[in-house]
Chains A and B, each alone.
Chain A
Amino acid sequence: MAGIGLAMTKAGGKPLLQIAACAALLLLGASFIPSLWCSREAGAAFEDSLKIQEPVQKGVEEWLSRGISAKDYDTGFSQFDGEWLFGTYFMAGMGFVQMAELHPELKARNIPLAERCIEGILSKETRAFDLQSWGSDPIESLDSDASSHIAYLGYLNLLLGMDRRLNQSTKFAPLNDKISAALARRYERSPTLLLETYPGETYPVDNCAGISSLKLFDVATGANHSALLARWKESCEKRWIDKRTGLLVQSVSPDGEPFDKPRGSGSTLGLYFLSFSDLELAKKLYAAVKKELASSVLGFGGVREYPRGMAGRMDIDSGPIIFGYGFSATGFSLAGAKLFGDEAYFKKLYATAYFAGAPCDSGGTRSFATGGPLGGAILFATLTAKGGSAR
C-alpha cells in the first residue's frame, strides 16, 4: 500500500493513476462492506433475539391497529388486492403465534393479536376474493363439497391450528374442528389428493398448507389423519416433486399431473408449510432449493424463481424477478434457512432482505419501505419461523 502511495505521489496525481486507484477503492468498498453492514443483525436474528424481532412485530401491529382493507393495496387487480389482504392477515397471525412460542412472556399480548388476524381473515371483505372466484362463500359452504377453497381454508386452518396450539381454550376451536372435518372429507373424495384453489386451478403449495393444518389439528385434538397424511406425502413425492430438481411444481392439471414448472416461490413457501407436518419432506425441499436455486454474490444471498436452464415469466406468485432471482422465493427462504439451521446462508439472505426491504426504524418500530403491509408481514413470519430445538 505504501509503495502504491509513493508511486502515486511521484506520479504527481496523474489522472490515469488516480482513476485506477479510485476504481480499485470503489470495488474494494463495494465487495464486502455493504453485505457486512446489511447482515450486521443477522446473527442475532438467527438466534431469535427479541431486540431484532420485536420491532418487526411492532411494525406489523401498527398496520393492524391502523386497520387495513383491500383498498390499501394497489396491485392493479381487485382479485390480487383481496389475496394480499388475506395474505397480510395470515402471515401476521403466523408471526404473532410464532413470537409467542419463541418468547413465552409475549403470550398474553400476542394471543389477542393473532385472534385479531383470524377475525380479519373471517371478515366479509377478506372473504370476498374467494367468494368472487368460486361463487360460494368458503365458510358458509363448509358442509358441501361442491367447491374446495383450499387456499382460503388451508391457510386459515393452519393459523387456527397454530392459535389452538398456543391457546387450547381458543374461541376458534369449533371453527378449526369444522374446517378440518371439511378438508379431510374433501381430500378423501379427491381422486388426486389435491384440492383446487380456484375453479380449474390447483396449486400443490396451497395444499401443503391444507394438509399441514390437519396435522396440527391432530396434535391439538388427538384426532388421527395419519393414513391420509401418509398417502398425500407419497403422492407428493411421486407426482408433484419434480424428478430432476427435487422442487415442488407450481401448478398441476385437474388429473394431478404437473402443469407448470418447478419454481422457487412455491417450493420455499411449501417447505415452510410442510415443516408443521413433515419436517423430513420439508428438509428435502430445502436441500433442493439450496442445490438448484440458491446462490450468493458479494455476500448477498438470492434464490432463483426458476431452476438454472429454465426460463419463465414473473407473476403474482414470484413477485419481481431480477437477474433470475425472485423476491418471493428469496424472502420465503429465510424461513427455510432458519428452520434447518443454515446460519451461513440465513445471514446472506438477511443481507438481501435488509437491502431490498429498506427497513425504516422509528421509536422501536421497524417497517419495510418497499414491503408495505404484506412484505412486512411475510418478513415477520419468516424471521420468527422456529428452527431446531425451538420447534
Chain B
Amino acid sequence: MKESVKTFLAQAAKSRGLWLCIGIAAALLALHELALAWMEKSRAVEAFMSGSFANVFQAAQILAFVLLRAATFFLLPGIILYGLLSAALSGMRKKEVD
C-alpha cells in the first residue's frame, strides 16, 4: 500500500496535467483572495444590498466578484479532481508502455 502510494506520488509529480490543474487552482485562489480583500474595503456592496442598481459600474464590480467567487467555489474541487485523475491516468499509460 505504502509502496503504491509512493509510486503514485512519484508519477503524479511528473504529470503535466496535474501541474496545470494546480497552477489554475492556485491562480484562481489568489485572484479570489485579492478580490475578497478589495471587496472588504469597497462600498459598491452597499448599493447592491440596497436593491438598487442605479450605479452600473458598482453593479458590474459586484457581479464580477460574485462570478469569481462562484467559479472558485464550484470549479476548484473539479479542477483538483481532474488533475488527480489525469495524474493517475498518465501513470497507467506509462505502466502499459513499460
Provide the residues of chain A in CB contact with B62, threshold 8 Å.
Answer: 370
Determine which residue in B50, B54, B82, B85 has the highest number of CB atoms from chain A within 10 A of its CB, and name it.
Answer: B50
* Most B CB within 10 A of own CB, among A25, A84, A372: A25
- Alpha-carbon gap, A220 to B52, bound state (A): 41
A319 touching B55 in the complex, CB below 8 Å, given contacts A9-B93, A28-B78, A372-B46: no
> Which residues of chain B come closer than 8 Å to A25, judged between CB atoms?
78, 81-82, 85
State which of B37, B74, B92, B93 has its C-beta within 8 Å of the C-beta of A34.
B74
**A76-B55, A374-B49 known, 17 other contacts, Cβ within 8 Å:** A8-B89, A9-B89, A25-B85, A27-B78, A28-B81, A30-B78, A38-B73, A75-B47, A76-B47, A76-B52, A314-B51, A319-B50, A319-B51, A358-B36, A369-B40, A371-B49, A372-B43
Cα-based distance from A361 to B62 in the complex (angstroms): 21
Nearest residue (CB) in A for B76 is A29
Bound complex: CA A310 to CA B55 (Å): 27
Interface string of A14-42 (1 = CB under 8 A from B): 00000001100111111001100110000
- Do A76 and B85 touch across chains, with their CB atoms under 8 A apart? no
Q: Within 8 Å of chain A (Cβ to Cβ): is B19?
A: no
Using A9-B96, A367-B40 as known contacts, say yes or no to A29 and B47 having CB atoms under 8 A apart: no
> A254 contacts the other chain (Cβ, under 8 Å)?
no
Nearest-neighbor residue (CB-CB) of B55 within chain A: A76
Asked whether, in the complex, the Cβ of B50 is within 8 Å of the Cβ of A355, the reply is: no
> Is A29 in contact with B40, judged by CB distance below 8 angstroms?
no
Nearest B residue (CB) for A38: B73
User: Is A320 in the interface zone, CB < 8 Å from B?
Assistant: yes
Q: Can you sample 23 A-B contacts with CB below 8 Å?
A: A5-B88, A6-B92, A13-B89, A22-B78, A25-B78, A29-B76, A29-B80, A30-B75, A34-B74, A34-B77, A74-B43, A75-B49, A76-B47, A76-B52, A76-B55, A77-B52, A319-B50, A320-B49, A321-B51, A355-B69, A369-B36, A370-B48, A372-B46
Given the interface pairs A6-B92, A355-B73, A374-B49, the reply to whether A26 lies near B78 with Cβ below 8 Å is yes
Q: Please indicate which of the listed interface residues A27, A38, A76, A84 has the most CB atoms of chain B within 10 Å of its own CB.
A: A76
List residues of chain B with CB within 8 A of the CB of A180.
Answer: none
CB distance from A4 to the nearest CB of B (A): 9
Residues A360 and B40 in contact in the complex (CB < 8 Å), given A8-B89, A75-B47, A372-B49 = yes
For A56-93 the 0/1 string (1 means CB < 8 A from B) is: 00000000000000000111110010001000000000
Cα of A80 to Cα of B49 in the assembled complex, Å: 11
Residue-wise interface mask of B (62-77) relative to A, using a CB-CB cutoff of 8 A (1 in contact, 0 not): 1001000100011111
C-alpha gap A75/B49 in the complex (Å): 8
Q: Which 5 A-B pairs have the closest CB atoms?
A: A29-B77, A29-B78, A26-B78, A33-B77, A75-B50
- A27 CA to B51 CA in the complex, in Å? 31
Give the docked Cα–Cα distance between A73 and B50 (Å). Answer: 10
Q: CB within 8 Å of B: which of A336-367?
A: 355, 358, 360, 367
- Cβ–Cβ < 8 Å partners of A27 in chain B: 78
In the docked arrangement, what's the CA distance between A320 and B66, Å? 12
The winner among A5, A370, A375 for most chain B CB atoms within 10 A is A370
Q: Which residues of B contact A29 (CB under 8 A)?
A: 74-81
Q: Is B39 an interface position by the 8 A CB rule?
A: yes
Smallest Cβ-Cβ distance to B59: which chain A residue: A320
Contacting residues, chain B, for A34 (C-beta < 8 A):
73-74, 77
Question: Distance (Å) between the CB of A45 and the closest chain B CB?
Answer: 19
Residue pair B50, A369 in contact (C-beta under 8 Å): no
B75 touches A26 (CB 8 A): yes
B45 interface residue (CB < 8 Å to A): yes
CB contact between B50 and one of A26, A38, A76 (< 8 Å): that residue: A76
In the complex, chain B residues whose CB is within 8 Å of the CB of A22: 78, 82
What's the Cα separation between A363 and B47 when bound, in Å? 29
Contacts of A255 in B (CB 8 A): none
Interface bits A109-149 vs B (CB < 8 Å: 1, else 0): 00000000000000000000000000000000000000000
Residues of B within 8 A of A318 (CB): 51
Are the C-beta atoms of B49 and A319 separated by less than 8 Å? yes
Chain B residues with Cβ below 8 Å from A105 are none
A240 interface residue per 8 A CB criterion: no
CA distance A5 to B8 in the complex (A): 15
Q: Is A316 an interface residue (CB 8 A)?
A: yes
A28 to B78, CA, bound (A): 7
Q: Are the C-beta atoms of A9 and B78 separated by less than 8 Å? A: no
